[in-house]
Amino acid sequence: MLGSERGVVEEWLSEFKSLPETHIRSYAGSLHLKKSLVPALYRVIQDPNSELLEPVCHQLFELYRSSEDRLRRFTLQFLPELVWVYLRITASRDRQSNGCIEALLLGIYNLEIVDKDGNSRLLSFTIPSLSKPSIYHEPSSLGSMVLTEGALCQHDQIRVLYSGLHPQRETFTAQNRFEVLCFLMLCYNAAVVYMPLSSYQSVCRMSSRLCVCGFPRQQQKLWREPCNRVLLDPEFMVQMLTAVYHAIYNGEWEMGREALEDIVYRAQLELYSQPLLLGNAMKNSLPESAPDEPRGRKVLQVEVTPTISRISISAITTASIRRHRWKREDTDGMSGGEDSFNINDPDEGFSSGASNSSQPSGTKAGGGAGPRASSLSSSSSSIKKAITARLSRDKEKVREREREADRKAELLTDHQSAESRPPQRQQSPPSSINLEAIHLSPIKKHLSFPVGPALVRTGSTSSSKSFDCMTFNLNGGEDEQEAAGARGSDRERGISAGGSHRHSTISLQEEHLVRPEEAQELLSPGAPLTKQSRSPSFNMQIISQV
Amino acid sequence: MTTRKSGSRLETEIERCRSEGQWDKIPELVRQLSAKLISNDDLGELLLGECKLQTYLKENPIKQGSSPRGPRPKLVEVRKHLTAALDRGNLKPDYLQEASLLMAKLCYVEAEFRDALGHYSRVNLDDMQLASAPVYRLSMIAEAYATKGLCLEKVPASSPSLSNKNTGSPSSNRSTTDREQEIITCYEKSGDIALLYLQEAEKALSAGIQNRSPKPGPTTQEQELGYFLETGLQRAHVIHFKNGNLTQGVGRFREILRAIETRTTQNLRMTIARQLAEILLRGMCEQSYWSPLEDPPSVSPLDDPTRQGHTYIKNYSLSRSPRVYSGENLFCPQENTEEALLLLLISESMANRDAVLSRIPEHNNDRIISLQSASVVYDLLTIALGRRGQYEMLSECLERAMKFAFEEFHLWYQLALSLMAAGKSARAVKVLKECIRLKPDDPTIPLLAVKLCIGPLHWLDEGEMFGKMVIDMGEKAAEFRAKGYLAIGLVYSLKATDASLRSTQEEYQRKALGAFQRAHGLSPTDHLAAFYLALQLAVSRQIPEALGYVRQALQLQGDDVHSLHLLALLLSAQKHYHDALNIIEMALSEYPENFNLLYTKVKLEAMCRGPEEALLTCKHMLQIWKSFYNLTNPSDSGRGSSLLDRAIADRRQLNAMTLPDFSDPETGSVHATSIAASRVEQALSEVASSLQSSAPKHGPMHPWMTLAQIWLHAAEVYIGMSKPAEAAACTQEAANLFPTSHNVLYMRGQIAELKGNIEEAKRWYEEALSINPTHVKTMQRLGLILHQLQRYSLSEKVLRDAVQVNSTAHDVWNSLGEVLQAQGNAAAATECFLTALELEASSPILPFTIIPRAL
């Protein structure tokens, strides 16, 4: 480290200490003007033996603790470098020199997991639903989407928590390491726009190195420092990708793309689906050439796009099929004759049909299956079927055509539903299982046996609750019902067998695990319920009984 | 009075034709018109001029990016008509304005930009009425603003044209800024009015169709916008982005998108929605976001700082603006990803609708174009949903793409990965198979499939097939070759555990060992290869060799929990219980909440430090369990909170996913565990994706299995202390959760034995075996009891069966020896005792197979 750099850092250390409270705002505004400070700080962080490391980490934490956003962001820009140094040293098991960086990372983490009032910070967002009007669309104008399974079971927008309720951490352990680091990267990504270019470079460097060090690809890199492989967590890699993605489009085109390649490489080797999924999408949607603007920003290149569709009218699309269908319906169905045929401008008719088909949401609730539909996709898909059936009663012919047209896509779905709901095909087991589910509910009462020793008592409440949960489970969904029902009733098989019962029949045969006929015999006496007992409303009754 | 139309009807008809752009009908209408009144001649000139100009433009459209090239002979006539209309001055003021606008447009087409501007300054566009204007005039005004903007861009800042060269001076700087501002304002006004025009035109069209009788109009014909309106709609944001002024660009995008869509704007909306989503994902973050209904921040990091001061301020309002989406409970995004997702879902639905399905060669180009535009949208959706962990929803979206993804590797692969990430393993494997077909050279794909087959699915035969694919690639698989061997080794290892015949078991173990050795040889720096080699050696009781490899693994990855666990078990096999306990404690300092380690700790403590310590550990485990899972309390019914809880549990679940099963680890536990686990995963993700549910919540099974297991461990410790009452209480706790578990029944049998109720114990054991006929520990106890009851041959049969199932259980060998001895078969008995002794010398405190095996 050069003497001048040292001087810069020392000056910075002493300056902030002597700063009166009132000057903090102006100090925050002027910090970015110290051009040589940031590179000097990087040097300090990279050198594990620097005696300045400890005061620097301390000061960075002080900045982070201040209420001034710009100061917090000043600290945050070093996060990638800190994470890299921390993980590298952890992999080399030279823990001593890591202490102050660990402390700084944990300090930031512990500050970030709570809000101003000290409550746990919950980060959530709403998944928009096209079936609800928004400032950008009206459900009816997007006809085709409304009747999909997803739209039906997600008729409402869903609020999803993506981070929250993190406990305070005093130390890093192998177990909590990536929980903490993921959260820190999440914070970094939430402010990534405010980071300077040097930080983007750092995040790309960190990602590349973490992903290749100790792997053969490291040999192709300029950076060859021997280093153990660093364990990575898929979720952490997703956070890295998010940061790198931003860097690619905001000035670090070359480094960013290299880092992206390296992350994908590592994700392949680790067989991690999540980062691979995102990495592939990012690679596939990269523009072909580097940005030409001086600052290298290439968030977007906009040209005037022609408003006329580039696709020829004669090509068959989903829309054209639907148009065709509506025409047919008009001619042979509604007896409207030529007149109505013309009134129904293809798209108009299409959207009115769509708003018709959005009504099933009402039917769904009326059937008493609303909540269940949204909680289990298998059941909701059956509900969907029911609804389509109801809808199509008068339009059967037309729907049939649609089904044929979309069959390729639906083949998959059918396959799955067939697999997860074998009972629809093999008749009797499910009904008897349902009965079992009802019979199980009284068991709950005699469960709350008084239990003996102190040790035992600690868990007794939770376990009786747990049984609540189990019985709920039994009624909750068909899948669970079968599995749990089989477990509860079939005395011949253990849990393992019960679990596998859910499996496709093929696999059952393969594994010689169960003898379905026997199980059936065991259950069938005293199982007067017919197949209809599987109807949603009946299940609702069971639920209310419980 | 026959065919001639009356004045007002004629005028309506003319208006309609102008609005609908049916220029070919105009000359005939003008003829009728001039036959009526002389004063209409001027109007006729105007109309003829207009229709000729428009026809010309339709036949010779101006391309985006090219500029007009000067006078055209064909336009001479147009100029003549318009000059005639203007010069005589008999026109009504409205028509006079129209004539001027047309004249200006003509000037632009002939590249007379200054003249065009002159006409515009005479008309004063801002004074033109929008409120009650007929539809065609809206279009005219919109075009006029766009043309004016185009002219202003062509003509250098005019008024101080001399001082303009002196660019350094602040005044000229300001004037260029003013000029820029003026240009953008022109385009934005043009765009707004164009949107209004399109909305009105569509309204008029549908009303017209309903009023008109049978004869169908050309309704299916798509309305073309033409160069001027297209420019007006889009040029403003193009300039914003060119200037690096993202904040304004985003604002303009949002304005356009908020206007109610018309058929003509669909394509534009789709593009803009995608582009806005790109900006949100690539150039914004949570902290820099502002909601569409808020004012943008005054200083934004989005804008190019070198151009600060050039920021454009929107400072106009129109007397009539395009209708926007409105109503109650309109969803307005409040967050970066929310808005991006909304926009992408909208573009997705459009892209999906327009995707070309037919595969005939003529449509190949169309198909590729539509596929590309859809593919971009799906990639962005992946990025938006992926970074929020919404894989379930993502897989549903990608599935919608499947109907046009035939033979498209990228979309198939993405679907497979999203299914995998969403925990839908079985379908993921099916889709991966298709991916392998499309891209047979990529070793990653079969490896992903093996991972699922070994892990959640336990489809070992399929796994073997996929693993062989990778190995068959040979050198081509490069770095993945080692992984291939590792994968197939794991398949064999698991098959060996599942096999019920000793010979098959040994065969698979041999194969597994060979595969792990290859993997380790190919990739000596991979700790997993070394670790699984060690584990396989340990399972076949080659303890010293196993120790060597586990040390290697630990050198490569000192933190690895499974390696540490294996090391501890190996030490316990060598009867170094205290060392083993130290290792476990060290491992627990890194993984304090790992139940697997804790189970081993309980056993070791009972051995080294006495049962009291072990009981304390059990209690500690219960506390950990509670702090871990109490949030998933099923009885709490708050809608929002329980979802949050669920999500937390989901996250934690991942940490705890490697717990061993409740059932005996040596009889295919991975199977049961994994299936239960995948069900848990499924239930969790489904619950997480539906806040809606007020129905009973699904308690994930896994925590309950863990809890039951903790109770059973405690029961075992109590049995070791000869305290049947406490042991029974603990077992009851487990039984409350899993009343028909063979482990619970086995434990009850042991308690009965402890109490001296041999008959009762026998009954329990028999029940346990009826549930799990290959539970070795039960078989051993049952054998012993039968021995005590002097039913030697039955006892021998049971014990021999047990040895078949697990040939390394030393206590079974021992019991078998005793039975044989009692039957007087001394030679065989000796052999059994020797085997038992030998096995006991290498027997770990818990079976090695409690360590999970996964890729």
Q: What average pLDDT does chain A have?
A: 67
Which one of A291, A312, A328 terminates a domain?
A: A291
Give the separation between CA A190 and CA A172, rounded to whole angstroms: 23
pLDDT over 90, % of chain A = 28
- Is 50 exceeded by the pLDDT of residue A380? no
Q: Which one is predicted more confidently, B316 or B716?
A: B716
Q: Determine contact: A307 vs chain B, CB below 8 A.
A: yes
CA neighbor of A514 nearest in space, from A529, A534, A531, A496: A496
From CA B132, how far away is CA A193, in angstroms rounded?
46
How many angstroms separate the CA of residue B719 from the nearest CA in chain A? 14
pLDDT of residue A183: 95
Residue B772 has its nearest CB partner, among A466, A494, A546, at A494
With cut-offs at 50, 70 and 90, classify the pLDDT of residue A290: low
Does a structural domain hold residue A228? yes
Residue A451 lies in a domain: no
Q: Answer yes or no: do A80 and A133 share one domain.
A: no
At residue A151 the predicted structure's pLDDT band, cuts being 50, 70 and 90, is low
Asked whether residue A91 falls in the same domain as residue A157, the answer is no
Task: Say yes or no: A546 contacts chain B, CB-CB below 8 A.
Answer: yes
Residues of chain A neighbouring B479 (CB-CB closer than 8 A) = 215-216, 269
Stretch B581-600: mean pLDDT: 93
Is the four-CA dihedral B435, B438, B439, B443 of positive or negative sign? positive
Does B275 have pLDDT greater than 50?
Answer: yes
Looking at residue A297, the DSSP 8-state letter turns out to be: B
Contacts 24+ apart (CB under 8 A), B74-81: B75/B106, B75/B109, B75/B110, B77/B52, B78/B49, B78/B52, B78/B53, B78/B106, B79/B49, B79/B103, B79/B106, B80/B49, B81/B45, B81/B46, B81/B48, B81/B49, B81/B52
Checking if the pLDDT of B668 tops 60, the result is no
Q: Most A CBs within 10 Å: which of B387, B624, B658, as the mutation test of the A interface?
A: B387
In chain B, which residues have their Cβ closer than 8 Å to the Cβ of A459?
Answer: 622, 625-626, 707, 710-711, 733
Among residues of chain B, what percentage have pLDDT more than 90?
A: 40
What is the rounded distance in angstroms from the CA atom of residue A432 to the CA atom of residue A531?
9
- Is the CB of B386 less than 8 angstroms away from the CB of A504? no
Interface confidence (ipTM) of the complex: 0.86
Q: Span B141-154, mean pLDDT?
A: 91
Q: What is the largest CA-CA distance in chain B?
A: 136
Q: Please count the structural domains in chain A.
A: 3
- The 10s digit of each residue's pLDDT in B378-398 is 999 999 999 999 999 999 999
Beta bridge mates, B46: none
Which of A242-256, A366-380, B429-443 comes out lowest in average pLDDT?
A366-380
H or E element that contains A158: strand A158-163
Confidence of residue A492 (pLDDT cuts 50, 70, 90): very low
Is residue A67 located within the same domain as residue A26?
A: yes
Q: Does the pLDDT value for residue A132 go beyond 80?
A: yes
Q: Do A315 and B363 touch (CB under 8 A)?
A: yes
In this complex, do B771 and A216 lie within 8 Å of one another by their Cβ atoms?
no
State the average pLDDT for chain B.
82
Reply yes or no on whether the pLDDT at B409 is more than 90. yes
Same domain, A40 and A139: no
Q: Is residue A462 part of a domain?
A: no
Statement to judge: residues A241 and A159 lie in one domain: no
3-state secondary structure of B747: helix
**CA distance, residue A160 to nearest chain B CA (Å):** 7
For residue B478, give the chain A residue with the closest CA.
A216
Residues A253, A218, single domain; the answer is: yes
Looking at chain A from residue 414 to 443, which residues have their Cβ under 8 Å from any Cβ of chain B? Answer: 415-416, 419
The reply to whether residue A479 touches residue B687, judged by beta carbons under 8 angstroms, is no
Residue B221 predicted with pLDDT over 70: no
Nearest-by-CA chain B residue for A267 = B444
Q: Are both A37 and A61 inside the same structural domain? A: yes
Look at residue B456 and tell me whether its pLDDT is greater than 60.
yes
The second-level CATH assignment, the architecture, of B264-291+332-439 is Alpha Horseshoe (1.25)
pLDDT above 80 for B350:
yes
pLDDT of A10 above 80: yes
What pairs with residue A114 in β-bridges? A120
**Structure confidence at residue A49 (pLDDT):** 84
pLDDT (tens digit per residue) in A85-116 = 999 988 886 666 678 999 999 999 999 999 88
The reply to whether residue A130 touches residue B345, judged by beta carbons under 8 angstroms, is yes
Distance between CA atoms of residues B597 and B612, nearest Å: 18
**What is residue B666's three-state secondary structure?**
coil
Are the Cβ atoms of A280 and B413 closer than 8 angstroms? yes
- Which of B370, B383, B396 minimises the CB distance to A278? B383
Identify all chain B residues contacting A279, using CB atoms and an 8 Å cutoff.
none
Residue A446 has pLDDT above 90, yes or no: no
pLDDT for residue B173: 63
Does position A502 have pLDDT exceeding 90, yes or no?
A: no
Q: Look at residue B356 in the predicted model and tell me its pLDDT.
A: 82
Residue A203 structural domain: 196-291
Predicted confidence (pLDDT) at residue B119 exceeds the cutoff of 50? yes
Site from B667, B733, B770 to mutate, A interface, most A CB atoms within 10 angstroms = B733
- Least confident residue range of A435-449, B94-108, B477-491, B767-781: A435-449
pLDDT band of residue A291 (cuts 50, 70, 90) is low
pLDDT tens track for A157-209? 778 888 878 889 999 999 999 999 999 999 999 999 999 999 999 999 999 99
Residues 515-544 (A) with a CB less than 8 A from some CB of B: 543
Least confidently predicted of A99-103, A501-505, B109-113, B690-694 = B690-694
**Tens digit of pLDDT for each residue in B819-835?**
999 998 899 999 999 99
Q: What is the pLDDT of residues B90-118, one digit of tens each?
A: 778 888 888 889 999 989 988 888 888 98
**Is some CB atom of chain B closer than 8 A to the CB atom of A245?**
yes
The 10s digit of each residue's pLDDT in B494-546 is 999 888 788 888 999 999 999 999 999 999 989 999 999 999 999 989 999 99
Looking at the fold, whether A132 and A233 belong to one and the same domain comes out as no
End-to-end CA distance of chain A: 72
Q: Does residue A306 lie within any of the structural domains?
A: no
Confidence tier at B460 by pLDDT (50, 70, 90)? very high
- Which of the pair, B196 or B305, is modelled with greater confidence? B196
Whether A33 has its CB under 8 Å from any CB of chain B: the answer is no
Q: Which one of B269, B302, B701 would you mutate to disrupt binding with A, by most A Cβ within 10 Å of its Cβ?
A: B701
Residue A2 C-alpha, separation from nearest chain B C-alpha, in angstroms:
32
- pLDDT tens across B228-249, in order? 888 888 888 888 888 878 888 8
pLDDT value of position A534: 36
Do A282 and A204 reside in the same domain of the chain? yes
Q: Residue A319 has what pLDDT?
A: 72
CA distance A75 to A77: 5
Residue A499 placed within a domain? no
Q: Which of B279, B355, B406 sits opposite A318 (nearest CB)?
A: B355
- What distances in angstroms separate CA A513 from CA A500, A523, B671, B676, B774, one per listed residue? 8, 18, 11, 15, 12
| A490 found inside a domain | no
Percentage helix, strand, coil for chain B under 3-state DSSP, each rounded to 5: 75, 0, 25
Q: Express as a percent the part of chain A with pLDDT over 70.
A: 50
Confidence of residue B157 (pLDDT cuts 50, 70, 90): low
Contact B367 A277 (CB under 8 A): no
- Segment of A330-334, B368-372, B576-580, B838-842 carrying the highest mean pLDDT: B576-580
* Domain shared by A4 and A65, yes or no: yes
CA distance A42 to chain B (A): 23
Interchain pair A132, B417: CB under 8 A: no
Contact B674, B658 (CB under 8 A): no
